[in-house]
Amino acid sequence: MAKKEIRLIWERSARGPAEHKCDFRRVERYGGRDDASGQCRMYHGDNMAAMCDVACEYAGGIDLIYIDPPYGTGRRLSSRLRSRAGESPPVECSAFDDRWGGGPAEYMDMLAPRLEMMCNLLSPRGSIYVHADWRMVHYIKVFMDEIFGREMFQNEIVWCYREAVNSKKRWNRKHDTILFYSKSDKFTFNYSEVLEPHAESTLKKYRRGDEKGPYRLMGRGLKGSPIRSARDVAPEWEQKHPELTYRHYLPAGKLPVDYWNIDIVNQAAHERTGYATQKPESLLERIVLASSNPGDIVADFFCGSGTTPVVAQKLGRRWIACDAQKRSIHITRKRLLALDKPIEFEILSAGGLYQSPDKKRDDSLFDIAEYSGESNAFSVVLKEMKSSEKDENGKTAAGNNIEFWAIDPEYDGTVFRPQWWTIKRNKRGAVDVESPVLRKNGDTAVAIIAGFEDGEQCKIVRRSV
């Protein structure tokens, strides 16, 4: 009898991927500038376009993809993001808009072609983890089965977190689901990297110890032995009849299971960025350690506050990240630059940096005082935000505290290679920057980027000495 199949009927929108906003604004490269193999990259823009670009080099070459796409909450998730009138192109990308008027079908119109692209990008030993919640996970599962194959479904991981519970109407929803698929049946899974701690009750059983660690004294399973297969036998047995006993040492940890109790990033957490949907680094650590090896390429095409690239960087993986929001790019970059091990970066931008309009316009957030050829110092004057600049909730946007500076003293119009940068937070007012890198003579374009909570501005000043 022919095998029966369940078929998915999906009224796919007439729009093809090309009609999604398929452009990326620019790429930032991280890691050794001279060593392309060590480089990591971050795209700003639509991930469809970013993946097309990635596919030119890495089709079938990505070892791990983790994505945490919008959840279909029906809300706009970043009220702070605003566009500046008069900003010259390239302009602000869409905010993190999680409204899908057409329901799950419209949501899947967005996600399904992206999942297909991701499948092509994965290496034969690669894996993909798709993070979702109760709203969309069941639809995504069916599509994942179609795209990756049902037999490649490895786990449904349940991430349980503690949060205030308010509902008396139904069970409180306190978990997310992460679907784990592999590209083939030979996929990387380093279980020994993600062993779980033993329960207190287990530790108590291993009450003896020697130079090799805690152990239990056991009876061997020998025929005729009075302590055959017995557990926790008296030490006299080992002294008098060592052939009948053996020491069972405490294993390094418990084999990992598919439900994880990990705290959300709480108010006091050191890693907290303020990004609404930020995931804990410890969650990504488990995924990256288990499903990739040092030097592998890990990608996150919905990177948000950058948890995946940050964890990948810390664990010695190469990474590719993408997000459509300027704010995400800014937060991710700030996190990467704050890591203990310094990281070089450069910005490649075909259409130019996100430059403010001309210097005289008063909608610019900062200005650069003239500086003389004699000195390396110059002042950057931060302006008061105009009262008209309010976010859509009517609050004055709080985003004009500069959180990042970078200067390329020899900007060539396409690649921004900062030779000096800082992620010190500066309050409004005048900031004196003494750059050790400004050339004493010559004719150069000095590009200065200032990153704010909600975006960034760039100015390019010509300098002739």
Ligand X SMILES: C[S@@+](CC[C@H](N)C(=O)[O-])C[C@H]1O[C@@H](n2cnc3c(N)ncnc32)[C@H](O)[C@@H]1O
Q: Are 277 and 77 a contacting pair, CB within 8 Å?
A: yes
Q: Are 368 and 77 a contacting pair, CB within 8 Å?
A: no
Q: Which of 111, 179, 322, 438 binds ligand X (CB under 6 A)?
A: 322
* Span from 121-129, 245-253, 316-324, 375-383 in contact with ligand X (CB under 6 A): 316-324
Q: Does 304 bind ligand X (CB under 6 A)?
A: yes
Q: Are 380 and 430 a contacting pair, CB within 8 Å?
A: yes
CB of 135 to ligand X, least distance (A): 12
Q: Does 70 bind ligand X (CB under 6 A)?
A: yes
* Span from 214-222, 299-307, 400-408, 428-436 in contact with ligand X (CB under 6 A): 299-307
The alpha helices in 258-306, defined as continuous H runs, are 281-291
Q: Are 245 and 219 a contacting pair, CB within 8 Å?
A: yes
The CA distance from 122 to 120, in Å, is 6
C-beta of 109 vs 238, nearer to ligand X: 109
Query: Which of 121, 135, 146, 150 is CA-nearest to residue 63?
Result: 121
Q: Which of 278, 355, 400, 426 binds ligand X (CB under 6 A)?
A: 278
Q: Does 325 bind ligand X (CB under 6 A)?
A: yes
The CA distance from 64 to 183, in Å, is 10
Q: Does 453 bind ligand X (CB under 6 A)?
A: no
Radius of gyration of the chain (CA): 27
C-beta of 42 vs 353, nearer to ligand X: 42
Q: Which of 109, 296, 323, 408 binds ligand X (CB under 6 A)?
A: 323
The CA distance from 314 to 292, in Å, is 13
Q: How many residues of this chain bind ligand X (CB under 6 A)?
A: 19
* Span from 173-181, 242-250, 320-328, 425-433 in contact with ligand X (CB under 6 A): 320-328
C-beta of 329 vs 446, nearer to ligand X: 329
Q: Which of 17, 29, 47, 321 binds ligand X (CB under 6 A)?
A: 47
The CA distance from 371 to 313, in Å, is 38
CB of 71 to ligand X, least distance (A): 7
- Most distant pair of Cα atoms in the chain: their distance: 96
The CA distance from 428 to 39, in Å, is 35
Q: How far is CA 214 from CA 244, 246, 250, in A?
A: 20, 13, 6
**Bridge partner list, 320:** 41, 299
Considering only residues 219 through 248, tell me which ones interact with ligand X, judged by CB under 6 A: none
C-beta of 33 vs 175, nearer to ligand X: 175
C-beta of 130 vs 382, nearer to ligand X: 130
* Span from 288-296, 319-327, 336-344, 396-404 in contact with ligand X (CB under 6 A): 319-327
Tokens read off for 423? 């992620």
C-beta of 325 vs 364, nearer to ligand X: 325
Residue that the structure tokens 């500038």 belong to: 33
Q: Are 238 and 246 a contacting pair, CB within 8 Å?
A: no
* Span from 65-73, 160-168, 223-231, 254-262 in contact with ligand X (CB under 6 A): 65-73
The CA distance from 300 to 47, in Å, is 9
Q: Which of 307, 313, 349, 444 binds ligand X (CB under 6 A)?
A: 307
Binding mask 131-170 for ligand X (x = CB under 6 A): ----------------------------------------
Residue number of the CB closest to ligand X reads 304
Q: Does 281 bind ligand X (CB under 6 A)?
A: no
Q: Does 328 bind ligand X (CB under 6 A)?
A: yes
Query: Which of 310, 314, 307, 270 is CA-nearest to residue 131?
Result: 307
The CA distance from 456 to 92, in Å, is 10
Q: Does 275 bind ligand X (CB under 6 A)?
A: yes
* Span from 174-182, 323-331, 383-391, 440-448 in contact with ligand X (CB under 6 A): 323-331
C-beta of 63 vs 68, nearer to ligand X: 68
* Span from 136-144, 301-309, 394-402, 403-411 in contact with ligand X (CB under 6 A): 301-309
Q: Which of 182, 245, 277, 349 binds ligand X (CB under 6 A)?
A: 277
Q: Which residues of 232-266 are buried (b: 16+ CB within 10 A; e: fewer)?
A: ebeeebbeeeeebbebeebeeeeebeeebebebbe
Q: Does 305 bind ligand X (CB under 6 A)?
A: yes
**Bridge partner list, 259:** 158
The CA distance from 408 to 463, in Å, is 12
Considering only residues 92 through 111, tell me which ones interact with ligand X, judged by CB under 6 A: 96
Cis? peptide before 90, omega within 30° of 0: yes
Q: Does 46 bind ligand X (CB under 6 A)?
A: yes
Residues that bind ligand X (CB under 6 A): 46-47, 68-70, 96, 275, 277-279, 302, 304-305, 307, 322-325, 328
